[in-house]
Amino acid sequence: MTKFARWLSFLIGFLFLCANASYALSVTKTPISSANCTNVTGFGTKAWSRPDRAFSQNNSSATRSLGTGGTVTSNYLKCVNYGFAIPTGAVINGLTISVLRKTSSTSSARVVKDAAVYAVKGGVIGGSNLKTTTAYTTTLTLEAHGGASSLWGQTWTAADINAATFGAAFAAIQTAGTRSATASVDVISITVDYASDTTPPTVLSVNRANTSPTGVATVSWDVTFSEAVTGVDASDFSLVQTGGVSGAGSISVVPVSATNYTVTASSGSGSGTLACKPARSNTTASHQP
């Protein structure tokens, strides 16, 4: 028989039915370097001494003597550049900002508490003030603010979290007393709770790379996915021969890029129609990590 096959695009839209589960993950980090923790004015009246010491837990603290004569508040102690590497497409579920802090005295004449705790997005202090009302003790104590489902009154993407301008801002207040108390902060850490991307990738387009009809020995399709994928191979496809076409096969898959693949098959012999469709039960492709 004369080899003369009419080539069609996929019979149905290709859809990866991934078995990816939703993974809840939690990552905690501190600022990358001491240069990432600074005093910021615009809130309170007392500047922090050695704010650079708040970047790691090492019993070396940023301090501020708050003074006497009524309510006295510190400036912001702002830390950024935590070095997160949250995967693109991840869903941010919540942020926990933890402050390891203490006061020099717990007498009734020297009561120190949080004045403000904010998340920093794009370098800007904003969103919800999630300070607690816990009075500080003379022992360094880690106080958590926010939580695994708290977004601090803002919306977040992985890019926001990974940016060098992401972080936290903290301020302390002496709420009462006739004697000066000193607030100390050893480190400000941030925990990010997030879920992996669970939306399966889909095919945006399937285009023949050959004219139709054609009598060539092989024919190809250009396949474009909605996102970067891995694990695409010949087992993900099958051929449908109709009319007089027979003996078609030898499917191969070649990646062009993370989102583009070329699917090629031998044409067999005879005259009729040959189509390619996904072998759904064998699909193993998944999100590229």
- CA 135/CA 128 separation, integer angstroms: 20
- 165 and 130 in a common domain: yes
Per-residue model confidence as pLDDT tens digits over 104-135? 988 877 889 999 999 999 999 999 999 999 99
User: How does residue 246 score in pLDDT terms, banded at 50, 70 and 90?
Assistant: low
Domain termination residue (choose one: 156, 179, 195):
195
Per-residue model confidence as pLDDT tens digits over 161-197? 999 999 999 999 998 777 889 999 999 999 999 998 6
Q: Residue 90's closest CA among 152, 149, 22? A: 22
- 28 and 14 in a common domain: no
Mean pLDDT of 94-113: 92
Per-residue model confidence as pLDDT tens digits over 192-218? 999 986 667 777 887 878 777 777 888
User: What is the pairing mode between strands 62-65 and 72-73?
Assistant: unpaired
Expressed as residue numbers, the domain containing 282 is 4-20+200-287
- 57 and 176 in a common domain: yes
Domain termination residue (choose one: 162, 179, 195):
195
Task: Look up the CATH number of the domain holding residue 128.
Answer: 2.60.120
Which has more confidence, 264 or 28? 28
- 61 and 169 in a common domain: yes
**Structural domains in the chain (count):** 2
- 113 and 230 in a common domain: no
pLDDT > 60? residue 51: yes
Q: What is the dihedral sign for C-alpha 5, 9, 13, 16?
A: positive
Domain termination residue (choose one: 195, 225, 247):
195
